Amino acid sequence: MQRYFVDNATSSNAVIQGEDAHHITRVMRMKEGEQVIVVSNERAYLSTITSISELTVTVVLGEKLPLQTELPLDVVIACGLPKGDKLDLVIQKATELGMAGFIPFEAERSIVKWDDRKWQKKKERYGKIAKEAAEQSHRTVIPTIHDLHTFHQLTETMKKYDVVLVCDEEEAKKTERVRFADHLKTVYDIKSILVIFGPEGGLERDEVEKLVANGAAATTLGPRILRAETAPLYALAALSYEFE
pLDDT at position 171 is 65
Homologous superfamily, domain 3-64:
Hypothetical PUA domain-like; domain 1 (2.40.240.20)
pLDDT at position 174 is 61
Burial 182-207 (b: 16+ CB within 10 A, else e): ebbeebeeeeebbbbbbbbebbeeeb
* pLDDT for 236 beyond 80: yes
Rounded Cα–Cα distance for residues 222 and 182 (Å): 12
Rounded Cα–Cα distance for residues 27 and 89 (Å): 25
Report which of 118, 43, 126, 40 is spatially closest to residue 79, judged by C-alpha positions: 126
pLDDT at position 184 is 85
Report which of 214, 205, 211, 215 is spatially closest to residue 169, judged by C-alpha positions: 205
| Eight-class DSSP state of 10 | -
- 134-168, pLDDT tens digit by residue? 999 999 999 999 999 999 999 999 999 999 999 98
Residue boundaries of the structural domains of the chain: 3-64, 74-243
Q: How many Cα atoms are found within 13 Å in the side-chain-facing hemisphere of 173?
A: 4
- 167-223, pLDDT tens digit by residue? 987 765 665 667 788 888 878 888 999 999 999 999 999 999 999 999 999 998 888
> What pTM, to 2 d.p., does this model score?
0.90
The second-level CATH assignment, the architecture, of 74-243 is 3-Layer(aba) Sandwich (3.40)
- 13-50, pLDDT tens digit by residue? 899 999 999 999 989 999 999 999 999 989 999 999 99
